[in-house]
Structure 1
Amino acid sequence: MEVKSMMNTATTLMIGLVFIMISVVAAEDPYRFFEWHVTYGNISPLGVEQQGILINGKFPGPDIYSVTNDNLIINVFNQLDEPFLISWSGIENLRNSFQDGVYGTTCPIPPGKNYTYALHVKDQIGSFYYFPSLGFHKAAGGFGGIRISTRPLIPVPFPPPADDYTVLIGDWYKTNHKDLRAKLDNGGKLPLPDGILINGRSSGATIITFEPGKTYRLRISNVGLQNSLNFRIQNHAMKLVEVEGRHTLQNVFSSLDVHLGQSYSVLVTADQPAKDYYIVVSSRFTPKVLTTTGVLHYSNYSGPVSGLIQAAPTLLSWSFNQARAIRTNLTANGPRPNPQGSFHYGMINITRTIRLANSAGQIEGKQRYAVNSASFYPADTPLKLADYFKIDGVYEPGSISDTPIKGGLFPATSVMQVDYRAFVEVVFENWEASVQSWHLDGYSFFVVGMELGKWSPASRKAYNLNDAVSRCTVQVYPKSWTAIYISLDNVGMWNLRSESWERQYLGQQLYMRVYTNSTSLRDEYLIPKNALLCGRATGRHTALL
């Protein structure tokens, strides 16, 4: 009995020690759990009933609230009639491209099944969003905001706002997403969108309430399909404070160009006479300007909104100048308690220059888009799974050139091999008449230059090598170029794509394979034990984390 009692005591102590260890780990890296049910539902954002994609019955979907270094456990149940994937725009998924949620890395969730994503927002702060990445689902909804707050003991370069609002803006079609997809599959182009939404609603339906004299934070993301948008608030100035995870110089703007896929945080103070004011969003650089409005409501006012709707700037040069003015606040902390300027990107030697040019054309009589003439066609197996299981013939590294090439478009499963810990220069060259917007999963990059005309090595003389903003989505203006620097410190298979969803769907994307011979978990995680397997990876055994 005494021995048994001692054994029970030892077991109790062991269990207690395990709980203490778990508590310590949890205190350092807390877990946040989400259960999402993805369904169809009737929505009427532009006054016409259509089929939308809802998350837990909501359009747009619920916000994700988190803090630096949190572990996000998101169990997604697919109750649609077709495969589904969610991707996380701006979440870097360090050492874990298996969780990226695009078809090059992750098998779709089959209808009636579920999958649990495990994301670690290691050393990240800022404003981002999630969206469905397959089957043109983004045209039906399934998107929502992501907020990653700084840990309590790390100061931010502005006083705490009275409240914090997610503002999702985007163009919208009244047409069912399956019909839009069929139009593209059959070789056509999409028409102009039918309207613009603010938080999933049409003109006048979105109301944001301010108390007089207080300052509020608005996290603005362009979750649309086709158009750059301009955001403004009648008679109110906006102080820019953060761009996709980086604190910025606190420039004050009367309006803000938000290009496809981009996210910004602004501070707005209720410092005007008590009344209601228009929130205005309009399309940029389009033959027909689409406009929608919301309402900024002062809590001590009961009358209707009124007055002139402020027009957006029209000159391309205005947008260029605003973009160049968005720079990093070198004196502010990031997710860690040290100045953001401690990484001197301008003093690192470039190891490789990659020039990427977008183009449009036809393949077998159907509309396609390309990067360096290679139009991306998905393989039958996610590229990351082919890598992990060493399945030959799924793709070829180097199937896309480092530089633009002459000639027509050609089909390819475009994969560019790049070395782990290389420091590369990427120049986006836009020879077309429309604004392009590019996003790189798994990374933030430094936007060192953008100019009209053609890029040449001499263009580097105008680069900002001191306080360029670091972000994950950047615009390239018509007949212009944009240059970025990337420190390739995140092993994996990462999607580099157009944020114009028609162009992305029809081939304007590629994958960067950030490669190392190392098999250390310090460099890359193993495949998750719950990974879905498809294509030629079906039936393979996965390793445990």
Structure 2
Amino acid sequence: MGNMTLVTLLLCLSLGAMMVQAEDPYLFFEWNVTYGTITPLGVPQQGILINGQFPGPRINCTSNNNIVINVFNKLDEPFLLTWGGVQQRKNSWQDGTLGTMCPILPGKNFTYHFQVKDQIGSFFYFPTTALHRAAGGIGALNVHSRDLIPVPFDRPADEYNVLVGDWYNKGHKTLKNILDNGRSIGRPDGIQINGKSTKVGDNVEPIFSMEPSKTYRYRVCNVGLKYSINFRIQGHALKLVELEGAHTIQNVYDSIDVHVGQCLSLLVNANQEPKDYYLVASSRFSKKPLSTVGIIRYTNGKGPASPLLPPPPPENTGGIAWSMNQFRSFRWNLTASAARPNPQGSYHYGKINITRTIKLVNSNYQIGGKLRFAINGVSHVDPPTPLKLAEYFGVPEKIFQYNLIKDDPSSANNQVIIAPSVVNATFRNFVEIIFENHEKTIQTWNLDGYSFFAVATEPGTWSPEKRKNYNLLDAVSRHNIQVYPRSWAAVMTTLDNAGMWNLRSEMWERVYLGQQLYISVLSPERSLRDEYNIPDNHPLCGVVEKLPLPAPYTA
């Protein structure tokens, strides 16, 4: 073998070794969080901007990318962001909730570092502190499939993010004061799309454009505080292709319900007469219907949009049935070759033995004349020391008591407990969680750190024999589930992601007043294979602020 050939071989081997050891790509961001005047419903109010923008900057990344975001808090109050369904594998330190992190104090910064490991899909980030979600600080987070991984549809001509939700004209500090005084914030004042609200006939610029005969991907997220939203586009069919990080069977809909906190992707073909069309977003299950529109313009379009809007789905009892049937039509595409949400490779979840059933019932109370929301009789409050830090430093007894919430709410008495709420769970157990809603309003629930299989939702109350109605084959793997009025929903998941994870209502009034809990999932191995150590830059506060760091995990 010649010298040059040998050198070339050695160089190739060296480069190959470097590639094997190389980390996945990094994306770096620097965000300045400030106040600014915004007018989503035409009324000026104090909003929260990121780099001067509302909505905030869009994150476009690819499966397995490392995301590094240095957040500078230039508000006059503490601030945190969470990443809306993006799973922090082994890393609840970056989850951005008050149970896991000390908030970023005014004038300070914190650098988030997380990986979108084995994930694809549509998500959004938002603030978890105070009532900041009512003021902005919200943006899209799109996770694309890697180029080598086939996607079950052709590449669209373009992608559009639609951040839609109800909105209040009262400022976020006023809303917080209302809740602090024990009253409800009441009904929203309107609906906004990407920070704007428009009526039929308004002379406004289009929010999106389409070329004839081309197909576009609309990533739609409900970023509101209270109302479910029905989404539709005048004269165009909506093909569902992705729901909260899972490719779906590609059913076609005239309109689709998007519940609070949920995201999905729709393919829309520009196959109509070239002109303007209205995109319509209207509230669901609300006593006072609210709606807004936006204009979609064909690039060579001639003529305005018709003032005749496509009708919303039926309301009242029929509306619940319509929406419930739509939920049942959602199916996971098991043949799609793409990053799959956890549990990894779990195509046969219906054959796994359930090791624990947790039944959660939401409720509201008047305590001393003040409104509180609770789960199984426990109304959560965030202590000054984050729960995860107290547990990690070995002093949980100073901050909280495990398992105030019982798995069966019938064992709870009629007195509500106001305290930090942490459920102790066993690592890698396969659990069934039942959400039972006895109230007249729809609920939406989110579980951080996991995707779960949404196997059923039905009217009435749950009982074990209802399991015969579960979809145990191709239920969509997702992280949000809606529970209709006086109905129940069931989900199943493997608790294989060690950490402290927030399970909460997505209605932020309810979160703020107690309708949330944390699930502590500790690996008995205390190993880096299961959970990362506390980051070097992680701020300390409360009773752990002056304590020495525990011995780190090593292997």
**TM-score normalized by the length of structure 1:** 0.94
Q: 1:19 to 1:55 in 2, by over 3 A?
A: farther
**Counterpart selection for 2:179 from 184, 187, 195:** 184
Partner of 2:10: none
**Counterpart selection for 1:322 from 310, 316, 326:** 326
**Counterpart selection for 2:446 from 420, 435, 439:** 439
**Counterpart selection for 2:401 from 393, 396, 402:** 396
Cα contact 2:24–2:66 (8 A) shared by 1: yes
Alignment of 1:328-347 (within 5 A): 328-335=332-339, 343-347=347-351
Q: What stretches of structure 1 move > 2 A for 4+ residues in a row?
A: 17-26, 302-307, 339-343, 539-545
Q: Which amino acid aligns with 1:75?
A: N
Q: 1:421 to 1:381 in 2, by over 3 A?
A: same
Aligned residue for 2:52, secondary structure, equals coil
Q: 1:18 to 1:55 in 2, by over 3 A?
A: farther
Cα contact 1:428–1:482 (8 A) shared by 2: yes
Partner of 1:249: 249
- Write the deviation string for residues 204-245 of structure 1: whole angstroms up to 9, x where unpaired: 655110000000001000000010010000010000000111
Which stretches in structure 2 are left out of the alignment for 5+ residues?
1-12
1:409 positional shift: 2.1
Alignment of 1:88-107 (within 5 A): 88-107=83-102
Partner of 2:9: none
Of 246-255 and 301-310, deviating more is 301-310
Partner of 1:151: 146
Q: Distance in 2 between matches of 1:537 and 1:341?
A: 39
Q: Distance in 2 between matches of 1:191 and 1:431?
A: 20
Q: Distance in 2 between matches of 1:257 and 1:451?
A: 17
- Write the deviation string for residues 274-318 of structure 1: whole angstroms up to 9, x where unpaired: 111110000000001000001111000143322301121112111
- Write the deviation string for residues 102-153 of structure 1: whole angstroms up to 9, x where unpaired: 0000110000000000011110110001000001100000010100001100
Partner of 2:368: 364
Partner of 1:3: none
Partner of 1:7: none
- Write the deviation string for residues 389-446 of structure 1: whole angstroms up to 9, x where unpaired: 1123211111211121341322121111110000000000000010000000000000
**TM-score normalized by the length of structure 2:** 0.92
1:344 positional shift: 0.9
1:364 positional shift: 2.4
Question: In the alignment, is residue 382 of structure 1 matched against residue 382 of structure 2?
Answer: no
Cα contact 2:101–2:388 (8 A) shared by 1: yes
Q: 1:370 to 1:19 in 2, by over 3 A?
A: farther
Question: In the alignment, is residue 426 of structure 1 matched against residue 433 of structure 2?
Answer: yes
Q: Distance in 1 between matches of 2:125 and 2:340?
A: 24
1:48 positional shift: 1.1
Aligned residue for 2:83, secondary structure, equals strand
Q: Which amino acid aligns with 2:155?
A: P
Q: Which amino acid aligns with 1:256?
A: I
Q: 1:336 to 1:495 in 2, by over 3 A?
A: closer
Q: 1:346 to 1:365 in 2, by over 3 A?
A: same
Q: Which amino acid aligns with 2:180?
A: D
Q: Which amino acid aligns with 1:402?
A: D
Q: Distance in 1 between matches of 2:403 and 2:178?
A: 31
Q: Distance in 2 between matches of 1:342 and 1:189?
A: 42
Q: Distance in 2 between matches of 1:241 and 1:540?
A: 49
Number of aligned positions between the proteins? 528
Aligned residue for 1:89, secondary structure, equals coil
Cα contact 1:275–1:305 (8 A) shared by 2: yes
**Counterpart selection for 1:50 from 37, 45, 51:** 45
Aligned residue for 2:398, secondary structure, equals coil
Question: In the alignment, is residue 141 of structure 1 matched against residue 136 of structure 2?
Answer: yes
Aligned residue for 1:35, secondary structure, equals strand
Cα contact 2:443–2:485 (8 A) shared by 1: yes
Of 510-519 and 57-66, deviating more is 510-519
Q: Distance in 1 between matches of 2:402 and 2:499?
A: 13
Cα contact 1:331–1:341 (8 A) shared by 2: no
Q: Which amino acid aligns with 2:293?
A: T
Which stretches in structure 1 are left out of the alignment for 5+ residues?
1-16
Q: Which amino acid aligns with 2:221?
A: S
Q: Which amino acid aligns with 1:208?
A: F
Cα contact 1:154–1:336 (8 A) shared by 2: no
Partner of 2:526: 519
Q: Distance in 2 between matches of 1:35 and 1:296?
A: 32
1:22 positional shift: 6.9
Q: Distance in 2 between matches of 1:515 and 1:340?
A: 19
Q: Which amino acid aligns with 1:416?
A: V
Partner of 1:510: 517
Aligned residue for 2:213, secondary structure, equals coil
Question: In the alignment, is residue 301 of structure 1 matched against residue 280 of structure 2?
Answer: no
Aligned residue for 1:91, secondary structure, equals coil
Question: In the alignment, is residue 453 of structure 1 matched against residue 460 of structure 2?
Answer: yes
Aligned residue for 1:396, secondary structure, equals coil
Aligned residue for 1:324, secondary structure, equals helix
Cα RMSD after superposing both structures: 2.0
**Counterpart selection for 1:483 from 481, 487, 490:** 490
Q: Distance in 1 between matches of 2:541 and 2:173?
A: 23
Cα contact 1:233–1:277 (8 A) shared by 2: yes
Q: 1:348 to 1:279 in 2, by over 3 A?
A: same
**Counterpart selection for 1:174 from 169, 175, 197:** 169
Q: Distance in 1 between matches of 2:426 and 2:209?
A: 49
Q: Which amino acid aligns with 2:186?
A: P
Cα contact 1:107–1:534 (8 A) shared by 2: yes
Q: 1:117 to 1:541 in 2, by over 3 A?
A: farther
Q: Distance in 1 between matches of 2:355 and 2:344?
A: 23
Q: Distance in 2 between matches of 1:393 and 1:517?
A: 22
1:23 positional shift: 6.3
Aligned residue for 2:365, secondary structure, equals strand
Cα contact 1:89–1:131 (8 A) shared by 2: yes
Percent of aligned positions with the same letter in both sequences? 57
Cα contact 1:329–1:340 (8 A) shared by 2: no
Q: 1:29 to 1:380 in 2, by over 3 A?
A: same
Q: Distance in 1 between matches of 2:380 and 2:449?
A: 19
Cα contact 1:361–1:368 (8 A) shared by 2: yes
Alignment of 1:17-96 (within 5 A): 25-26=21-22, 28-96=23-91
Q: Distance in 1 between matches of 2:552 and 2:82?
A: 23
